[in-house]
Amino acid sequence: MQPLSDIERQRIRIALVEDGGREDVTSLATVDENADGMGTFIAKADGVVAGLEIARHTFSLYEVLHGIASPEFAFEATVSDGERVQTGDSLGTLRARLRTLLAAERVALNFLQRMSGIATMTRAFVDAVAGTGAVILDTRKTAPLLRPFDRQAVRAGGGTNHRYGLGDMVLIKDNHIAANDGDIERVLAKLKDFFANPERAHVPVEIEVTSLDEFETILRLGTGIIDRVLFDNFDIELLREGVRLNHGTFETEASGGITLETARAVAETGVHFLSVGALTHSVRALDISFEIEPMPS
């Protein structure tokens, strides 16, 4: 498991504070302070796992925040992120104070279930385009503050991350073109001037087109400026024609309402990338339970 980044640690902390900024009064009232226990994560549906280290750190950080020191705190994973599991499979066990297990359970499961749901959906899309050479990309359509976890889950499912944030890539969308009175040539000229500054670090440049006429303008004037063209909401025939016209000039990407049922047909047009917002904006959490039992004193 890869070590967590600082931003991931910070956001797990925020989630714990949100859920238990005050005391867990239920556990305080009903569970002995020094009682130890074991919790087991169990898959309640078939899917792909992601987020095990996030779940482990959630319990560990809970103890730090609340001044708890489990004498035998230990997490043992029985599967790895990216691994397929079936209903009833154990994902791992955690030994800690019972109060820790009970109080941090919901936050840990929220992360683990969401991330595993994303990984499961991503794997389904990756499988759908297998053998075509096309790459499945995520988008910035992530839940606020959960982007690091959503992107990690996409990778666990076999997908690839698009840009993390606005500073990582120039991505000219329809509204950027509209802001220039719909004049793509003006946009291209501005891009050329923007990167003419020797102090300006170059980042990849992608531009969205919504018609073949727009794409032909990019082919005519965009060489040396544009790295990738995004065909947005093209039907299969138009997309195939766009790829033919491109003839290897730019990287190509398709987006807009791509589903599991249509993904393979889109990939078979020859585009290099399929960006799928549904991976993170319409995720269905994978059903996972956390079964707790006390340990002998």
Render pLDDT for 199-209 as a digit per residue (tens, 0 to 9). 888 899 999 99
Q: How far apart are CA 115 and CA 53, in angstroms?
A: 11
Contact present, 271 and 132 (Cβ < 8 Å): no
3-state secondary structure at position 231: strand
Q: Identify the architecture of domain 126-281 in CATH.
A: Alpha-Beta Barrel (3.20)
Query: Of 104, 36, 66, whose CA–CA distance to 297 is shortest?
Result: 36
Contact present, 209 and 218 (Cβ < 8 Å): yes
Residues with a catalytic annotation lie at: 106, 141, 173, 208, 232
What is the tens place of the pLDDT at every residue in 119-147?
A: 999 999 999 999 999 999 999 999 999 99
Tell me what pLDDT residue 148 has: 97
Is 83 exposed, middle or buried (CB count within 10 Å of its CB: 0-12, 13-18, 19+)? Answer: middle
Residues of the chain with CATH 3.90.1170.20: 6-121+284-294
What rounded mean pLDDT belongs to the chain?
Answer: 96
pLDDT band at 21 (very low <50, low <70, confident <90, very high): low
Amino acid 239 reads L
Q: How far apart are CA 204 and CA 217, in angstroms?
A: 19
Contact present, 215 and 242 (Cβ < 8 Å): yes
Contact present, 136 and 158 (Cβ < 8 Å): yes
For residue 229, report the phi and psi dihedrals to the nearest 5 degrees.
-115, 135
pLDDT band at 8 (very low <50, low <70, confident <90, very high): very high
Q: Looking at the predicted structure, is the pLDDT value of residue 166 above 90? A: yes
User: 96 pairs with which residues across the strands?
Assistant: 37
Give 96's Cβ-side CA count (13 Å radius).
Answer: 27
Contact present, 253 and 274 (Cβ < 8 Å): yes
Q: Looking at the predicted structure, is the pLDDT value of residue 3 above 90? A: no
Q: What is the CATH number of domain 6-121+284-294?
A: 3.90.1170.20
